[in-house]
Amino acid sequence: SFDMALSSILTEAEIAAGLQSCQAADTFDYKTFFVKVGLNSKSKDQLAKVFEIFDQDRSGFIEEEELKLFLKNFSASARTLTDAETKAFLAAGDSDGDGKIGVDGKTALMKR
């Protein structure tokens, strides 16, 4: 399962802190979230692994539909992102405007 893969990179405490920072609708801020879960301090290899987990259809890109379910990768009980949150997240990582996030955009996103 996805949870298993993420838990090899992040601690439960980190995941809980991240999810807690955005429990209410429209409070998700990817920068805050990445800092809370400690993703901004991970290695490139670890970030690539995380990217693979989010890229559920293995297309090499994270599409809007996958972003919407972003928090569910961390916990099955987490909420889906609102449209506004999803679009803001997508815009931040979509470096070439094709409506999805490639690996390059993802790494840039997490290291900001």
Where in the chain does DSSP place strands (E)?
61-63, 100-102
User: What percentage of the chain reaches a pLDDT higher than 90?
Assistant: 63
- pLDDT category of residue 66 using cuts at 50, 70 and 90: very high
CA–CA separation, 61 and 6 (whole Å):
18
Q: Is 66 annotated as a binding residue?
A: yes
Q: Is 54 annotated as a binding residue?
A: no
Please state which architecture CATH assigns to domain 4-111: Orthogonal Bundle (1.10)
Q: Is 61 annotated as a binding residue?
A: yes
- pLDDT category of residue 7 using cuts at 50, 70 and 90: confident
Report whether pLDDT(20) > 90: yes
Q: Is 59 annotated as a binding residue?
A: yes
Q: What is the pLDDT of residue 12?
A: 92
CA–CA separation, 109 and 47 (whole Å):
10
